[in-house]
Structure 1
């Protein structure tokens, strides 16, 4: 084997001995070294320091010593395994936490679904109960209207009779006796027995110059019916230049229900279709020997379809749901006044009294 001097003389110098190779190798190891893990690599170097060095390395070479130092600072297989194990443990711990949260959310979602299903069942039962109660209330309302109207069978409501001048006491019985005798074509002094007679309260929307209605109860029911029938036959009755009309005194709920059906009655009048009101409340039309009746809001669509009337909205005929969408007004939240006040402290006391600012 040739010596080192002979190899150099032959021109076959090794590539590791050239300055460029040494510089590039040191730069590579320097770039691959992590300065933040020097302590950890130093401990690994101490563990591997007892191993015998490479037989080709020169103990006195500075470059070999630097390379060996860089090699000892590189992470070993055990270091990588420890690092991966640490990452795996961290991921496993976080995954277990996420799994527990997902399971908890799943349980809560299941509870919410069960609660929602129970609420839906309760809502369906409540809706059915509400419909039943609404039907029962409507029936009771009509029965109450019937009782109220039976108590008003002898009553008449007269509209259009002028009121007495201010300061003059009016005698309703005397006025009504004169009007009814005129309707019956009898002498005006003919006696008529009244149980009571009075002026109605003035509605809010009634003009001030319009007289209030006169309400009376006639003791003799056949006489009341005769007055009512002849008053409808004589529709041109006037007193002091004002038209006088006689109506049957009905319960306020019945009048409200009839007002709610005004679009339908107007359409019937335009088509010259005769109709009549039944008691306690019903609108009846006899067309081609077939009777069509409205006694509840559910009867309106079929009634309009059978008589070929234009569709129109009808309010609740019982007056129980006049404003179903009404909401209770909420009070505004308390806010501090933007106006600044000066406080005047009284001497000897801890009480401060606000004073009003003088205008500029």
Structure 2
């Protein structure tokens, strides 16, 4: 017998019954898993079939297994800690990049706002400059007029276009020989030669004196044009292309007014004055004329369609900016 003091402890078996026959040496480590895994009970010295708890070899084996489990747990914790540190580092990097992105987005939003304001200001300035440019071009054309309806090639027998135009005006507008027309130059519109049977190109006439040009126009308008060789000849101012485009938008309205025998006048730069029975009314835009004439029952074109097709006349720069930056305020 050993001299060590034994201590009786109660141990729960797998069936949940207390076993009072188990004795462990005081100070021995008890495995929470009971007997060693994968081992069959070792017969005791007395042949009862149970392991002798006082066997040092059994306790050593249990301690060895416990140390192995502890080592595995320690390594697992070490690996987990390393992985957590790595994940934390990646999260820190992601947060840093996210903060940088937020800062840059805020800066770009500020720049975009400034760009939007600058672009709006540029468009406003461009419109003003375009208006001034059109006005200057119209001023440079104030001594010029255009003849519409002169057949193509009618001037071929004259010494020059200026001689042909002067003779044409004197004969049909009753201009006295004592009145000097002072035609500086005259030529056809600089466009491609139209095919046979189509509208002939207009003739541009440049006078030296503005008052002479105005007098010629006054005489022509009083007669509402004139007939020459079975052709209707009309005279009008020489407008810049931008103003001509705006005035052409009233073409459908003028056609309808002529069909209804209503007198009208196209005012500078692009306004329409209509003389109704109750009085005259002036329209400043095509849209305004469309709405009012439609409300009066004056419609033209195909049934169910608006009288005038709405169009917006822009300069090339404004059109390009609008197409590229549709979100701009202007």
TM-score range, shorter chain: 0.5 to 0.7
TM-fit CA distance, 1:275: 6.2
| 1:128–1:305 distance in 2 versus 1, CA, 3 Å | farther
Contact 2:287 2:310 (8 Å CA) reproduced: no
| 1:80–1:154 distance in 2 versus 1, CA, 3 Å | same
Give the structure 1 partner of residue 78 of structure 2: 89
TM-fit CA distance, 1:139: 1.0
Distance 2:104 2:195 in 1: 58
Contact 1:155 1:218 (8 Å CA) reproduced: yes
Consecutive unaligned residues in structure 1, runs of 5 or more: 1-31, 34-40, 42-52, 59-67, 295-299, 328-360
Distance 1:230 1:190 in 2: 13
Give the structure 2 partner of residue 207 of structure 1: 195
Distance 2:272 2:179 in 1: 38
Say whether 1:133 aligns with 2:122. yes
Distance 1:308 1:323 in 2: 33
Say whether 1:78 aligns with 2:71. no
Contact 1:178 1:189 (8 Å CA) reproduced: no
Say whether 1:197 aligns with 2:186. yes
Give the structure 1 partner of residue 148 of structure 2: 159
Contact 1:315 1:322 (8 Å CA) reproduced: no
Match of 1:277 among 264, 267, 288: 267
Give the structure 1 partner of residue 317 of structure 2: 320
Question: TM-score, normalising length from structure 1?
Answer: 0.57
Aligned residue for 1:192, secondary structure, equals: coil
Question: TM-score, normalising length from structure 2?
Answer: 0.62
TM-fit CA distance, 1:284: 6.4
Say whether 1:216 aligns with 2:199. no
Consecutive unaligned residues in structure 2, runs of 5 or more: 1-36, 48-56, 296-305, 325-330
Distance 1:200 1:80 in 2: 103
TM-fit CA distance, 1:174: 2.0
RMSD between aligned residues: 4.3
TM-fit CA distance, 1:116: 1.0
TM-fit CA distance, 1:157: 0.9
Distance 2:294 2:63 in 1: 98
Say whether 1:252 aligns with 2:241. yes
Contact 2:137 2:240 (8 Å CA) reproduced: yes
Say whether 1:122 aligns with 2:122. no
Distance 2:79 2:210 in 1: 99
Number of residue pairs aligned between Structure 1 and Structure 2: 259
Distance 1:166 1:75 in 2: 124
Say whether 1:142 aligns with 2:137. no
TM-fit CA distance, 1:211: 3.0
TM-fit CA distance, 1:120: 1.1
Contact 1:183 1:227 (8 Å CA) reproduced: no
Distance 1:302 1:116 in 2: 44
Contact 1:162 1:211 (8 Å CA) reproduced: yes
